């Protein structure tokens, strides 16, 4: 009879084929999701293998390790901001010694330039008189004495804010009270550190008579010796004291947001004063 026997293939079991490549047979399962994967789709894990999706998910959910340098900087108790400020001032001073005086002219603060180049109110904090080594020497010595103390007390971010706002306030005071004066130097910011240290020490109950004498003597020197912008000293001193009061009254972790808003308020107030000071200067000299 005729017809021969017919051979029929058994139905193919999809579980024995790679879920990403249906034509590739495999009997290896992903350790996490238990789907069949071919050798091309396998990623070796600590136990078994993983499919591409599970590998990607594991990488995304794994805790990211911060670079060792970042971890070391965060855990170090060294006054890194103070050292960085000193380093910047020294580098700028060395650049100022180059012939032509281009660097000095580019960073000093001159009130009539406030509208066109307002950033000078901050860049001037890092420049010093290129004709007097004592200028940068005394300022950096003072910064190295006060900076580490305050930086460890209030933290790096708060210390930097204190320093910059104090220096900014010093330039604002110059804008109002000595608008034809060219200003450079970290003195305004350093007086801000003095004011902050005085307020903090007084609140903590320490004896700050000696510190008060230091502040008074330095203020008197600014009034007596020519070519010193005592206005910047006073402005920095007042701003430093105000910022320190904010820090003291918002010390709790729950008041962090309030502290940031209040310090930001000081910055906004200084900007508004700058606008007002420029308007007065412009009207007076027809700028």
Same domain, 49 and 140: no
7 has a pLDDT exceeding 60 = no
Mean pLDDT value across residues 29-43: 85
| Phi, psi of 50, deg, nearest 5 | -120, 150
- Helix crossing, 187-203 with 133-154: angle to 10°? 30
Within a domain: residue 224? yes
176 or 208, higher pLDDT? 176
97 has a pLDDT exceeding 80 = yes
Domain count, the chain: 2
136 has a pLDDT exceeding 50 = yes
Within a domain: residue 34? yes
**In Å, what is the CA distance from 106 to each residue of 51, 96, 101, 109, 125?**
59, 10, 9, 9, 12
116 or 57, higher pLDDT? 116
Using the structure block, give the residue that is written with the tokens 């350790």.
Answer: 31
Task: Give the pLDDT of residue 6.
Answer: 55
249 has a pLDDT exceeding 70 = yes
Same domain, 98 and 198: yes
Within a domain: residue 71? no
Within a domain: residue 36? yes
For 82, the enclosing helix (H) or strand (E) is helix 80-96
Within a domain: residue 7? no
Write out the residue range of the structural domain in which residue 166 sits: 79-285
Same domain, 139 and 276: yes
Mean pLDDT value across residues 39-43: 85
123 or 58, higher pLDDT? 123
Q: Considering the entire predicted model, what is its pTM?
A: 0.74
Give Cβ neighbours of residue 177 (< 8 Å, ≥ 6 apart): 231
The proportion of the chain whose per-residue pLDDT surpasses 90, expressed as a percent, equals: 55
Same domain, 206 and 120: yes
Within a domain: residue 69? no
Same domain, 175 and 219: yes
Tokens matching residue 121? 């109110």
Confidence of residue 15 (pLDDT cuts 50, 70, 90): confident
Within a domain: residue 6? no
Same domain, 42 and 90: no
CATH code for the domain of 213: 1.20.1540.10
131 has a pLDDT exceeding 60 = yes
Within a domain: residue 272? yes
Residue 101 CA to residue 24 CA, distance in Å, equals: 74
Residue 158 CA to residue 196 CA, distance in Å, equals: 12
Q: How many CB atoms lie within 10 A of CB 166?
A: 31
Same domain, 49 and 83: no
Residue 175 CA to residue 163 CA, distance in Å, equals: 19
Same domain, 22 and 101: no
Task: Give the pLDDT of residue 74.
Answer: 57
215 or 112, higher pLDDT? 112
Task: Give the pLDDT of residue 1.
Answer: 47
């Amino acid at each position: 009879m005729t017809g021969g026997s017919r051979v029929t293939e058994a139905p193919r079991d999809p579980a024995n084929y790679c879920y990403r490549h249906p034509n590739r047979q495999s009997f290896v399962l992903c350790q996490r999701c238990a789907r069949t994967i071919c050798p091309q789709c396998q990623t070796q894990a600590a136990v078994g293998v993983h499919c591409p999706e599970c590998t990607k998910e594991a990488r995304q959910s794994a805790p990211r390790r911060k670079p060792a340098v970042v971890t070391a900087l965060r855990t170090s108790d060294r006054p890194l901001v103070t050292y960085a400020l000193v380093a910047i001032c020294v580098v700028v001073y060395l650049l100022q010694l180059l012939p032509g005086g281009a660097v000095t002219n580019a960073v000093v603060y001159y009130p009539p330039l406030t509208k066109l180049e307002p950033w000078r109110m901050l860049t001037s904090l890092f420049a010093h008189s290129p004709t007097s080594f004592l200028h940068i020497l005394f300022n950096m010595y003072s910064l190295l004495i006060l900076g580490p103390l305050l930086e460890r007390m209030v933290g790096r971010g708060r210390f930097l804010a204190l320093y910059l706002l104090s220096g900014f306030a010093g330039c604002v005071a110059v804008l109002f009270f000595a608008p034809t004066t060219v200003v450079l130097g970290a003195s305004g910011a350093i007086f801000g550190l003095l004011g902050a240290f005085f307020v903090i020490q007084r609140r903590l109950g320490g004896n700050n008579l000696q510190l008060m004498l230091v502040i008074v003597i330095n203020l008197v020197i600014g009034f007596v010796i020519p070519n010193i912008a005592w206005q910047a000293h006073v402005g920095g001193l007042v701003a430093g004291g105000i910022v320190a009061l904010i820090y003291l009254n918002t010390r709790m972790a729950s008041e962090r947001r309030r502290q940031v808003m209040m310090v930001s308020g000081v910055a906004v107030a200084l900007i508004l004063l700058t606008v007002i000071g420029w308007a007065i200067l412009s009207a007076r000299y027809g700028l």
